[in-house]
Amino acid sequence: MTQDAFSETPITTASDQVFVDMRREIVEGSIVQGSKISEPELAKRYGVSRATLREALNRLESCYLVERKANVGCRVVALTAERLIEVYQVRSALEGLACRLAADNMAPDEVQSLKQLLNQHLKTQRVKEGESYYQEAGDLDFHYRIIKGSKNDHLIHLLSNGLYQLIRMYRVQMGMVGPRVSKAFDEHLAIINAIENHDGELAELLMKRHISASQANIQTKFNLHAAQNERVEQ
């Protein structure tokens, strides 16, 4: 029984493994967005029966990475501009809430640990400028810790098992290695300070702005991406 990096679901069964593997492949684009999923084909590829694969597909559906239609089949979610906006509207509301709750419920040592982590990220970031992995992981880790700091299990599940993989999918496939790095760190710092001061209202506001900025940034990349694809299609 091993463990996955982001969602803390322990991997015990075969379908757990297939779920985690497929999730990674979808998020990273190895299984391309919008493509149809053939059950027999993928079952053979992962070396499991269709029942096991279908179990995994069900879970992928509940975190919005695939869409099913009865008697028709399964499709990988399509990354559209509209969906990006929708998801970020929801994310803003939920993480805003998480941040407000964290200001009340986060333990002092959790806050300190997060500040420390932030400084550490800042140092390594300056060295490894432009290396996407650290930025991605660092940013996600920051958000993840605050979400957990809300101490609202339902909210935690909704975000980390529900929305975050889809958000990662956009970020990864848009190649988010932007110049927002340093700016994002400042915003992170302001947020954690507000949380430390138990100023929930401010923390919520700052988080919502931070996410809006992130959304704008992704949207720019997205349009760039779309323009490129248009050119290719001609």
Partner DNA sequence: CTTCCCAAGATTGTCGACAATTTATGGATA
Partner DNA sequence: TATCCATAAATTGTCGACAATCTTGGGAAG
Which residues sit at the interface with DNA, rule CB under 7 A?
A: 12-16, 36-40, 47-52, 54-55, 68, 70-74
The binder of 14, among DNA, its own copies, none, by C-beta within 5 to 8 A per type, is: DNA
- In whole angstroms, give the CA distance from residue 227 to residue 173: 15
Q: Check the CA dihedral 124-125-131-136 and report its sign.
A: positive
Q: Is 225 helix (H, G, I), strand (E, B) or coil?
A: helix
CA distance 72 to 3: 33
According to the binding rule CB under 8 A, does residue 96 interact with its own copies?
yes
Exactly one of 86, 104, 129, 201 binds its own copies (CB under 8 A); which one? 86
Which residue, 8 or 86, is less far from DNA as judged by CB? 8
At residue 31, φ and ψ (nearest 5 deg) are -95, 115
Candidates 138, 115, 31; CA nearest to 79 is 31
Asked if residue 55 binds its own copies (CB under 8 A), the reply is yes
Q: Which of 99, 213, 90, 209 is CA-nearest to residue 147? A: 99
The residues in 122-161 that bind its own copies, with binding defined as CB under 8 A, are 152-155, 158
d(CA 126, CA 7): 28
Between residues 1 and 232, which has the closer beta carbon with respect to DNA?
Answer: 1
For its own copies, the binding residue among 90, 172, 177, 189 (CB under 8 A) is 90
Residues in contact with its own copies by CB under 8 A are 10, 12-13, 16, 51, 54-55, 58-59, 61-62, 64, 70-71, 83, 86-87, 89-90, 93-94, 96-97, 101, 152-155, 158
